[in-house]
Chain A
Amino acid sequence: MLDAHELAELFSRTRSGERRAFRDWVEHVTPTVYRLALRMLRNEADAEDVVQETMVRAWQGMAGLRDAQASLSWVCQIARNVALDRVRGVKRRAGMRLMSLDGDHAQHWAETLGDATRSPEELADSHEARSFVRAVIESLPERHRLPLLLCELDGMTAEEAAAALGCPTGTVESRLHRARNALGKKVRGIAAQHRSWRWWR
């Protein structure tokens, strides 16, 4: 794993036309670009296409970037633009299968999550529990969903997520905090709905 200074050094060599350096630079930034595209588009094949298109544009336009330190956020900016073009072009392709939040399953898992007798490890082993949590996350607005997925699922630091999303680190941290609150509120809301529904029946 390269630090910011080494990445900048690599990018400077890339900019001077060194192909070996370009390969190393792409190798290093690809995971971040791919995960960003995947979280935006929710489809592996589309995300792979975005990575390729992004690197084509990066190779063609790297002379325009003056600050080599900003190469990661610059390439992520390109990836976001490419991904947004795709989102506009293909409104929603068959992506991941998500649990419906209105179904009995979702309500069951919303209650189970709040059950202190079940350990998180036990729940994490359950495909359905994970599927429910993913469905709740997917229902969040993008400004909350993306930081949450990049940091909690993909294990990015707030700084890396900030570079990927093109916003300050503080903004990522505050959105992450709000996203967690929104997620908890949503889960509690589904569980409460279930309780009132049972009472009503």
Chain B
Amino acid sequence: MRPDQERHWERVARIVAGDGPAAVPSDLAARAVDAALGAAADTTQEPTLLGRLVWLGTRATVAAFGLAGVLVIAAHIGGPQASSMVGRRTPSVVATDALSSWMHTRQTALEQEAVTLVSFGVAGEQEGSR
């Protein structure tokens, strides 16, 4: 900048500075803090409507069918879809497998018991007829 331009600028700068820096509202920082902390509290304390519905639904299902029922329902709804999406065994699939395996074992035991009882019964009848 040439000296005459520099002087010209000095004049302009002093006029601009005459306006002074923008005054910051005195309570602005406090309001900003309240907004930030308030928003954080909202996100931690106020669940969304969907969140509330899922929570209420889960509680109602647990009350109606017990935890095992919820596990079976969750596994049936989410298990196959999740496992096909992810390509591996998800916790719900593992839960389903464990539950069906236990039911299968229980069923097998009951069947064997029934067969034993029936065979005893048949044997007893044959004994009695002799």
List chain A positions with a Cβ less than 8 A from chain B. 19, 22-23, 26-27, 30-31, 34-35, 38-39, 48, 51-56, 58-60, 113-114, 120-121, 123-125, 129-130, 133-134, 137, 152-155, 177, 180-181, 183-184, 187
21 contacts between A and B (CB under 8 A): A22-B33, A26-B33, A30-B29, A34-B25, A38-B22, A48-B31, A51-B28, A52-B31, A52-B32, A55-B32, A55-B35, A56-B35, A56-B36, A59-B37, A60-B36, A113-B11, A129-B15, A137-B16, A153-B20, A155-B21, A184-B8
Any chain A CB within 8 A of the CB of B53?
no
Q: Which of chain B's residues have a CB closer than 8 A to the CB of A34? A: 22, 24-25, 28
Q: Are A124 and B15 in contact (CB under 8 A)?
A: yes
Docked complex Cα distance between A125 and B28 (Å)? 29
Docked complex Cα distance between A51 and B33 (Å)? 10
A156 to chain B: closest CB distance in Å?
Answer: 9
Q: A60-B39, A184-B5 are in contact. Are A113 and B12 (CB under 8 A)?
A: yes
A121 to chain B: closest CB distance in Å?
Answer: 7
Q: Are A120 and B24 in contact (CB under 8 A)?
A: no
Q: Which of chain B's residues have a CB closer than 8 A to the CB of A52? A: 31-32, 35-36
Q: A38-B22, A184-B5 are in contact. Are A130 and B16 (CB under 8 A)?
A: yes
Interface centre among B10, B14, B40 (most CB of A within 10 A): B14
Q: Are A153 and B36 in contact (CB under 8 A)?
A: no
Q: Which of chain B's residues have a CB closer than 8 A to the CB of A38? A: 22
- Known contacts A26-B29, A123-B11, then 15 further A-B pairs from the complex at CB < 8 Å, ordered by chain A residue: A23-B30, A52-B32, A52-B36, A53-B35, A60-B36, A120-B10, A123-B15, A124-B14, A129-B15, A153-B19, A154-B21, A181-B1, A183-B9, A184-B1, A187-B12
Any chain A CB within 8 A of the CB of B17?
yes
Any chain A CB within 8 A of the CB of B18?
yes
Docked complex Cα distance between A184 and B18 (Å)? 18
Range, interface on chain B: 20 to 34
Q: Which of chain B's residues have a CB closer than 8 A to the CB of A22? A: 33, 36-37
Q: Are B12 and A130 in contact (CB under 8 A)?
A: no
A22: nearest residue on chain B (CB-CB)?
B33
Q: A23-B33, A30-B24, A48-B25 are in contact. Are A133 and B39 (CB under 8 A)?
A: no
Q: Which of chain A's residues have a CB closer than 8 A to the CB of B28? A: 30, 34, 48, 51
Any chain A CB within 8 A of the CB of B13?
yes
CB < 8 Å: which of A26, A114, A137 contacts B32? A26
Q: Are B14 and A59 in contact (CB under 8 A)?
A: no
Q: Which of chain A's residues have a CB closer than 8 A to the CB of B30? A: 23
Docked complex Cα distance between A22 and B39 (Å)? 14
Q: Are B36 and A114 in contact (CB under 8 A)?
A: no
